[in-house]
Amino acid sequence: MTKTDSTSPSLVDEEKGESPAPVTETSAPQMPSFPEGGARAWGVVLGSMIINGCSFGYATAFGVYQAYYQEHQLSHKNPSDIAWIGSIQFFFMFAGGFVSGSLFDRYGARVVMIPGTIGYVLALMFTSLCKEYWQFILAQGVFGGICNGLIFSPALAAVGHYFQKKRGAAMGLVAVGSSVGGVIFPIVLQKAFYGKVGFGWGVRAVAFAMLGLLSIACVLVVERLPPRRGRFFAPEAFRQRSYVLLLSGIFLVFWGVLLIYFFISEYAIEKIHMGTELAFYLLSITNAASLVGRVFFGALGDKAGFLSLFSLVALLNTILVFCWTATKTNAGLIVWGIVFGFTSGGVFSLFPAGIASITPKPQFIGTYMGQGMIFFAVAGLTGSPIGGAIIDKYGYLDGSMFGGASLLVGFLLIVAARFSHQPQWSVKA
């Protein structure tokens, strides 16, 4: 048996309250069997896919809100100020996982997801009535983000209860949901905002659709493993070197990737002079390409190893973001958006699979993933406003340098996490 990640602790026996011990060849916890399929397992995948579309997918459509707010309700604000609304939403969506992941491990999915669904729909209703900047911050950013977090993290963790050998493929399918949401919602919102429906009823219509979709998801997503007991969090996870390196790498990768999703439409309008409607469709085109990437890289991760493949995906995104502003025509930016969408899709399918792959016990997948979400929360909160401020002061070229540099360092950290978890290159990791 090959020794891996010798510095990582095994999790404590929660019922006995024992101290964590290092994982060795003899003390590594034995993994239980996984169904790897069946109606219930694939139902969980479908429900998680729906949740991803309604939470993460909808959040990545913020570029439509960004452009609309700049022209209407918040025309007196600069792009960096407006970007804080979406960034705060991302922050609380991921930060909510810090609590909801542990709640899932202890009490199951529905106890967390049903209140989250109700609150999320209310947050959308409140957003439809907003007029002032602080109102958008509270309704769309804070309240919407918190409720997003209550449904997002448990949906990802539940899939880990049913799949191990096919976990990458399953996570890839789940990630398709956020891509589908990222394709559909920008089109729906753009048509509503600039058509006869208008902003208010456009957002309310989306809220009613969310209520129906998330109700179905709450029925489908169920846990398989018995609830764990003991401490609410697992602080010993942060003594696991591969875990900390991976989370740090994902943090910086998110900085670079989310910058593009927030500002690609604005770049198209301001620098390429692309028509407003086509610029909004560009975001949907990018998300459509991301759909393919999520499935492809998720399934490939089962064969190549999640951390190894994640390293490659981070490197590809680094190169693309550095080249972002080299596109000077509509056709060039559309092609670039398709390629970037495909490679960034790998980020969204591989990061949860990567975390699950280095979690010592499946009963702790929700906790490990939830604790990791606080890293991504800070990335979502700070990355786009920092990038937006750089773009405001220095231009899009410097913004792309910021995003590319973030991705480059993130790539190096993920490589370090891979070799910390499994030092031998010949062994899949």
CB atoms within 10 A of CB 92: 23
Question: Would you say residue 8 has pLDDT above 50?
Answer: no
Distances (CA, A) of 188 to 198, 205, 265: 11, 10, 16
Q: Which two tokens stand for residue 32?
A: 């239980």
Q: What is the pLDDT of residue 212?
A: 95
pLDDT at res. 312: 95
Average pLDDT, the chain: 84
Decide if 308 is inside a domain: yes
User: pLDDT (tens digit, 9 = 90+) per residue, 144-177?
Assistant: 999 998 998 888 888 878 877 777 778 888 888 8
pLDDT band per the 50, 70, 90 thresholds, residue 5: low
- The answer to whether residue 15 sits within a structural domain is no
Is the predicted pLDDT of residue 24 greater than 70, yes or no? no
pLDDT of residue 15: 41
- pLDDT score of 106 more than 70: yes
**Tens digit of pLDDT for each residue in 347-372?**
988 888 888 888 877 777 778 877 88
CB atoms within 10 A of CB 392: 14
CA distances from 292 to 59, 178, 326, 338, 344 (A): 19, 12, 24, 10, 10
**Which candidate, 220, 216, 203, 182, places its Cα nearest to that of 121?**
203
Predicted confidence (pLDDT) at residue 11 exceeds the cutoff of 70: no
What is the CATH number for 93? 1.20.1250.20
Q: How many domains does the chain have?
A: 1
Domain assignment of residue 399, yes or no: yes
pLDDT score at 315: 97
Which whole number is the average pLDDT over 311-328?
95
Per-residue pLDDT at 26 exceeds 50: no
Q: How confident is the model over 249-260, as a mean pLDDT? A: 92
* SS3 assignment, position 321: helix
| Residue 150 structural domain | 40-224+233-421
The reply to whether 10 falls in a domain is no
d(Cα 380, Cα 240) in Å, to the nearest integer? Answer: 24
Does residue 184 sit within a domain?
Answer: yes
pLDDT greater than 50 at residue 9: no
Tell me if 106 is assigned to some domain. Answer: yes
CB 153 within 8 A of CB 374: no
- The answer to whether residue 403 is domain-embedded is yes
Choose the weakest-confidence range: 11-20, 125-134, 222-231, 251-260. Answer: 11-20
Helices (H), 108-229: 110-128, 133-136, 144-160, 167-194, 198-220
Residue 6 lies in a domain: no
Question: Would the CA dihedral through 45, 51, 55, 60 be positive or negative?
Answer: positive
**Average pLDDT over every residue of 280-293:** 85
